[in-house]
Amino acid sequence: MTASTTSARDKDVRRVPRVVIRFAGDSGDGIQVTGDRFTSETAELGNDLATLPNFPAEIRAPAGTLPGVSSFQLQFADHDVLTPGDHPDVLVVMNPAALRANLADLRAGGRIIANVDEFTSRNLRRVGYGANPLDDDSLEGYTVHQVKLTSMTVEALKDLDIGKKDAERAKNFFALGMLSWLYHRPVERTLAFIEKRFGKVPEIARANTTAFNAGWNYGETTEEFAVSYEIRPAPMSRGLYRRITGNTALAWGLIAASRLTGLSLFLGAYPITPASDVLHELSRHKRFDVHTFQAEDEIAGVGAALGASYGGALGVTTTSGPGVSLKGETISLGVALELPLIVCDIQRAGPSTGMPTKTEQADLLMAYAGRHGEAPVPVLAARSPSDCFDTAIEAARIATKYRTPVILLSDGYLANGSEPWHIPDVAALPDLHPEFAREPNGTDAKGNPVFLPYLRDAETLARPWAVPGTKGLEHRLGGLEKADGTGHISYDPENHDLMVRTRQAKVDGIARDIPPLEVDDPDGSARTLVLGWGSTYGPVGAAVREVRAHGHAVAQAHLNYLNPFPANTGEVLRHYDRVIVPEMNLGQLALLLRATYLVDVISYNKVRGLPFTSTELIDAIEKVADA
């Protein structure tokens, strides 16, 4: 009997509103694939969800060691979900290293499903266990299921023409089948996924399918699990949904922006964690007039993107913090040339190489002012994986309308995390077609028509965008300061002062063209405001929800626009007695707010390479609210 036809109804079924599951094991154990497929099954069922993949930074760390542990956490529920959960309810561990690395996060009384086959004396000693925790009293506060994942997988595949090592590798699909039974997940798409992904090697496809079905049937027949669990779909607005990660949403948002502006999309990028997936995704969509260039280094990538913008395309470059450092000179050149350029910074923990696979929000000040000279650029930040799509479109709107580089901030948490995405109605998306210069816009001293490359729009202060080769629009651009209007090289002090102030005024003026800062203050009685930016949106929202449930009147607001700030930001800040700003840095937004609005905001900062938990934010917010 296959998983798709087996019923779980012969055992007790318990309905629960939510659950947090974490899969953990070696990188070679297929943990990310297991978590990804369980997430897809969950999304298909209609639960709301959020995920937190956690990758080791080491490439091929020794098997069974703490540095090599990979994990994937998922929270799914019958109501709206804002975070992947603070503490897992269920921890699935493939070896002792996975248990040791993740046990501290498991909630009290939680469930451990352990692959007992890997708890050998050698593997236990490797991670510092003097005795087997599955056999002593150290785990008595948890419900422990000792499951022979490896040996049962090998036994299930014994009749297939496959080696022992390949058979053992299928244990992640055995675990996936077992968990799919335990939580009533649909399985048809996972079976189709196995066939599609491994179909070129039929025996491997057959092995993974067999292992998955064996895991499902084990859950159905074993006495180890007396109860299965049902989490009903979450109420959502009608429409078509799909699961999406932040990097995929960003890539698709850039494609949509290209179509909305009517411009070819050109990506110049150098591979870097955690931004590389945007390059990978865009490279699959050449049919949408997308051109991807994997450059030899970060400087070449941004230079090519800026050159594409000069040629009339939508120039984009993607990177992480170290790459932004290298791209700084060319971004500054883009400010001087006043050309559209989208710089996507998928932030990771620094400084230097730092922790490449861990998340952080520490690039804000670099995005805001990390260039030589007075080189202001708009800065936007996405708040959730699906919001990366909308933020990419908004970045393109601002870049093309105001003729300026724009920095879009995401981070590793958003990039790799996933959630349901309500696919938008394409017809409802904005028309962003820019106006190109088509004819001369001035005259020379003799009255002959000429093109003035720095003759500005009265409202936006944007200069005209002229595609090279357009008849009569001969002009020159470059990094040397240009005279206002004519674009001739100028060393005149007054002209330089004018051009610097005009470029700043152009960015400042964007505040008139963006939505005001919205405040969630249900009855208007709150005297404490929690203000977040970027990926703190989910944890802050979850924490504020609980703080209110505890009887505190607390307001919440979230900044998507970081330069310029929304026009009413100062008014909002001054309305509250206390403003707390949680950031995954040492207080960079707080520094900008204090300097801009002279408001003594309260910082809450941690830089652990992990997103905030709602529990720690609840404690921090209540301490401020009670002050």
pLDDT interval class at 611 (50, 70, 90): very high
End of a domain among 376, 405, 428? 428
Residue 63 confidence (pLDDT):
87
Q: Do 195 and 75 share a structural domain?
A: yes
Quick one: average pLDDT of 254-266? Answer: 98
Residue 581 confidence (pLDDT):
98
Which residues touch 13 (CB under 8 Å, ≥6 apart)? 184, 227, 228, 229, 230
Q: Is the pLDDT of residue 252 over 80?
A: yes
Residue 308 confidence (pLDDT):
98
Residue 107 confidence (pLDDT):
97
Using CA atoms, how far residue 376 sits from 227, 372, 373, 406, in Å, is 59, 10, 9, 9
Residue 472 belongs to some domain of the structure: no
Residue 476 belongs to some domain of the structure: no
Residue 487 confidence (pLDDT):
95
CA–CA gap between residue 364 and residue 347 (Å, rounded): 9
Assigned token pair, 427: 């017809």
CA–CA gap between residue 271 and residue 318 (Å, rounded): 9
Convert 444-486 into a string of H (helix), E (strand) and C (coil). Answer: CCCCCEECCCECCCCCCCCCCECCCCCCCCCCCCCCCCECCEC
Residue 463 confidence (pLDDT):
97
Residue 347 confidence (pLDDT):
98
pLDDT interval class at 541 (50, 70, 90): very high
Total Cβ atoms within 10 A of residue 56? 18
End of a domain among 201, 230, 259? 230
Helical (H) or strand (E) element with 25: strand 18-26
CA–CA gap between residue 242 and residue 232 (Å, rounded): 18
Residue 5 confidence (pLDDT):
40
Residue 496 belongs to some domain of the structure: no
Q: Do 250 and 226 share a structural domain?
A: no
Q: Do 277 and 162 share a structural domain?
A: no
End of a domain among 428, 444, 469? 428
Domain that holds residue 419: 242-428
Q: Which residues pair with 341 in a beta bridge?
A: 405
Q: Is the pLDDT of residue 74 over 60?
A: yes
Q: Do 284 and 200 share a structural domain?
A: no
Residue 557 belongs to some domain of the structure: yes
What CATH number is given to the structural domain containing 607?
3.40.50.920
Q: Directed axis angle between helix 149-156 and helix 171-182, to 10°?
A: 100
Residue 47 belongs to some domain of the structure: yes
End-to-end CA, the chain: 62
Q: Do 177 and 274 share a structural domain?
A: no
- Output helix, strand, coil percentages for the chain, rounded to the nearest 5: 40, 20, 40
Which of 47-61, 195-209, 285-299 is predicted with the least confidence, judged by mean pLDDT? 47-61
Q: Taking phi first (over 0 means left), then psi (-120 to 50 degrees means alpha), and beta for anything else, what does residue 485 get?
A: left
CA–CA gap between residue 249 and residue 247 (Å, rounded): 5
What CATH number is given to the structural domain containing 385?
3.40.50.970
Q: Do 147 and 50 share a structural domain?
A: yes
Amino acid at 375: A
Reported as a single tens digit per residue, the pLDDT across 434-464 is: 999 999 999 998 999 999 999 999 999 999 9
Q: Do 292 and 258 share a structural domain?
A: yes
Q: Is the pLDDT of residue 388 over 90?
A: yes
Residue 59 confidence (pLDDT):
76
Using an 8 Å Cβ cutoff, are 529 and 556 in contact? yes
Using CA atoms, how far residue 157 sits from 160, 199, 233, 533, in Å, is 5, 17, 34, 50
Q: Is the pLDDT of residue 297 over 50?
A: yes
Quick one: average pLDDT of 93-101? Answer: 98
Q: Is the pLDDT of residue 508 over 80?
A: yes
pTM recorded for the entire structure: 0.95
Residue 6 belongs to some domain of the structure: no
Q: Do 305 and 247 share a structural domain?
A: yes
Convert 221-262 into a string of H (helix), E (strand) and C (coil). Answer: HCCCCCEEEECCCCCCCCCCEEEEEHHHHHHHHHHHHHHHHC
Using an 8 Å Cβ cutoff, are 579 and 529 in contact? yes
pLDDT interval class at 10 (50, 70, 90): low
Q: Could you say which DSSP state residue 135 is in?
A: T
Residue 225 belongs to some domain of the structure: yes
Q: Is the pLDDT of residue 49 over 80?
A: yes
DSSP H helices, 7-163, are 31-45, 96-102, 121-126, 149-156
Q: Is the pLDDT of residue 405 over 70?
A: yes
Q: Do 256 and 333 share a structural domain?
A: yes
Residue 398 confidence (pLDDT):
98
CA–CA gap between residue 305 and residue 406 (Å, rounded): 13
Q: Is the pLDDT of residue 617 over 60?
A: yes
pLDDT interval class at 395 (50, 70, 90): very high
Which residues touch 351 (CB under 8 Å, ≥6 apart)? none
Residue 61 confidence (pLDDT):
84
Residue 513 belongs to some domain of the structure: no
Q: Do 222 and 332 share a structural domain?
A: no
CA–CA gap between residue 179 and residue 231 (Å, rounded): 13
Total Cβ atoms within 10 A of residue 266? 24
Buried b or exposed e, range 69-108, using 16+ CB within 10 angstroms: bbbbbbbbbbeebbbbbbbbbbbbbbbbbbbbbbbebbee
User: How does the average pLDDT of the chain come out, rounded?
Assistant: 96
* Among candidate residues 570, 574, 540, 578, the one with its CA nearest the CA of residue 557: 540
Residue 1 confidence (pLDDT):
32
Q: Do 226 and 257 share a structural domain?
A: no
Reported as a single tens digit per residue, the pLDDT across 132-172 is: 999 999 999 999 999 999 999 999 999 999 999 999 999 99
Which residues touch 465 (CB under 8 Å, ≥6 apart)? 312, 339, 340, 400, 403, 434, 435, 436, 437
Q: Is the pLDDT of residue 24 over 80?
A: yes
Quick one: average pLDDT of 260-282? Answer: 98
Q: What is the gyration radius of the CA atoms in the chain, in angstroms? A: 27
Q: Do 257 and 209 share a structural domain?
A: no
Identify the burial level of 44 via C-beta atoms within 10 angstroms of its C-beta, where 0-12 means exposed, 13-18 middle and 19 or more buried.
Answer: middle
Quick one: average pLDDT of 583-612? Answer: 97
* pLDDT above 70 as % of the chain: 98
What domain count does the chain have?
Answer: 3
Reported as a single tens digit per residue, the pLDDT across 328-349 is: 999 999 999 999 999 999 999 9
Assigned token pair, 475: 């002009």
Residue 619 confidence (pLDDT):
97
Identify the burial level of 600 via C-beta atoms within 10 angstroms of its C-beta, where 0-12 means exposed, 13-18 middle and 19 or more buried.
Answer: exposed
Q: Which residue has the tokens 């989208």?
A: 342
